[in-house]
Structure 1
C-alpha cells in the first residue's frame, strides 16, 4: 500500500513570538515493512535543525526560531510504502533495552481494574493470545469518543470512565501489558481506513514484545493489529514522550493551535 500523508500544525499568537525551541517526531523511519518514497518537513528554522536518531530509534528534529509575527506553521508531508505483516515490527533499530518498556509513568500506571483485566488474559506461555484478548477487551470496554478525555488523561482514568480516544486505548493496553511483565511501547503514526478512503487525524496504538516472535502492534481503538493501512512514525514510553511537536517559547501570548491531517491512498 502506498500512502500519502500531509500533517499540518498551525500556531497563532496575540503577541509576536520572541523565541521558540521545538522537538519534532514527524519523520517516519524505514524498517522491513515500511519504506519512505519521499518525505519533507517545512518549518521555521528547519534548515538549521539538529536531526538525529534517539535511544528508541526515532528520527527527531530539534529546531529553534524567533522574531516572528503572525502564524507559525509546521508541515510534514510525504509518501510511504507499507506492507502488511499482521502487526509484526522487524528492522527498527532501538538501542534502548527492552526492559525500559516495563517502566510505569503517570499515564500508564494501572489501577486494580486494569491489573485484574490483565490477569484474566495472560496464562503462562500464551502471551500472543493474551494480547489479542486484551486488545478486544479494551475495545469492548472503552468507547471511542472524541472530547471525552484530554492529553493528560491517564489509562486508569479513561478505563474507569469507559470512554476515550486512541491515545487512551494505547495507554490502557500498555498499562495492562506492563502489569503482566510484558514490555510495551506507545506508537504514533497514521491510519487510512481502506481503498478509496482517507483519514483526517493522526493515530496512536501500542506495541508489545512477544517471546520468540518480537514486537507486535495492537490497535485497541480499532481492535486490530496494524496492517499496510498504517504508517509508523515514532515509539516511546508513553504519549508525552513522542508527541509530534513539543517545546517551549518566549513571547507569543495566548497560543492557539490548529492541526490538519490528511492521509490517503496514493497512486502508484
Structure 2
C-alpha cells in the first residue's frame, strides 16, 4: 500500500523567542516492510542545522529558531510504500545491543500495579501468544481515553489512572513485557484510519522481541499488530527516545501548539 503523509506542527508564542532548538524525529527510513519513496521537511521561522542518526538509528534533524520569532511551523510530507507483514519487523539492527531493551527507564519502571497486571495476565501458549494476550490484557486494564494526554506519565501512573492514550498503552505494555523477560521498545509513527483522511494525531505502539521472528509490533490501543496502514518513524526505550519533537527555548514566552495531519492511500 502506498501512503502519502502531510504533517504540520505550528508553534506560536506571545513574545519573541530569542533562541530555540528542537530535535525532530519525523523522517521515516526504509526498513523491512516499508520503503520511503520521497520525504521532505520544511521549516518556516527556522532552519535545519544538521541531520544525523541517533543511537537507535533514527533519523534526527536539529532545527534552530530564527532569532526573535513568534511563530515556527514544521511541515513534513512524503510517500511511503508499506507492506503488511503482520507486525513482524525482523532482527535487531542499529547501534544498540538487544539486551538494553530489557532495561527499565523512569517511564517504564515496574511497581506494584504492573506486577499485579502481570500476575493476572494469561500465560498459556508460546511467546507470541503470550504477548498478544498481554496486549489485550493491557487494553482491558487501561481502556482508551483522551481525558489526559501528558507524554511524561509513568506506566505505574497510567495504571493508577485506569485509562490512557496510545503512548500510555505502549509504556504499560513495554514495562510488563520487560518484566516478563522480553526485550521491548517504543515506536512512534503514523496510522491511516480507514474512515478519514485527517488524522487526530501521530500514533504510538510497542514492539517486543520474539526468538525466531525478531521484533514484532503490538498496537495495544487498536488491538492489532501493525499492518500496511502503519508508517514506522522512530524507536527507543520509551517516548523520550522516540518523541517526534523535543527541545528547548530561551525566554519566558508562552507557547501554543497546533497539529494537522493527513494520511491517505495514494
TM-score of the pair, normalised by structure 2: 0.93
Name the CA distance, whole Å, in 1 between partners of 2:133 and 2:180: 14
Q: How many residues align?
A: 265
Name the CA distance, whole Å, in 2 between partners of 1:196 and 1:11: 25
**What are the within-5 Å matches in structure 2 for residues 79-118 of structure 1?**
79-90=79-90, 93-118=93-118
Q: Which residue of 1 aligns with 2:135?
A: 135
Name the CA distance, whole Å, in 2 between partners of 1:13 and 1:264: 31
Q: Which residue of 2 aligns with 1:248?
A: 248
Q: Which residue of 2 aligns with 1:146?
A: 146
Q: Which residue of 2 aligns with 1:50?
A: 50
> Which stretch of the first structure deviates more once superposed, 181-190 or 67-76?
67-76
Name the CA distance, whole Å, in 2 between partners of 1:254 and 1:198: 27
- Compared with structure 1, are the counterparts of its residues 252 and 29 closer, same or farther at alpha carbon in structure 2 (3 Å cutoff)? farther
Name the CA distance, whole Å, in 2 between partners of 1:215 and 1:36: 20
5+ residue gaps, structure 2, are none
Q: Which residue of 2 aligns with 1:175?
A: 175
- Compared with structure 1, are the counterparts of its residues 49 and 262 closer, same or farther at alpha carbon in structure 2 (3 Å cutoff)? same
After TM superposition, give the deviation of residue 63 of structure 1 in Å. Answer: 2.2
The 4+ residue runs of structure 1 with deviation greater than 4 A are: 119-125, 195-198
Q: Which residue of 1 aligns with 2:18?
A: 18
CA deviation string 1:88-123 (max 9, x = no partner)? 013773210011111212211122232233345475
Q: Give the RMSD, CA atoms, in angstroms.
A: 2.0
> Which stretch of the first structure deviates more once superposed, 11-20 or 197-206?
197-206
Name the CA distance, whole Å, in 2 between partners of 1:10 and 1:184: 32
TM-score of the pair, normalised by structure 1: 0.92
> Which stretch of the first structure deviates more once superposed, 196-205 or 174-183?
196-205
Q: Which residue of 1 aligns with 2:201?
A: 201
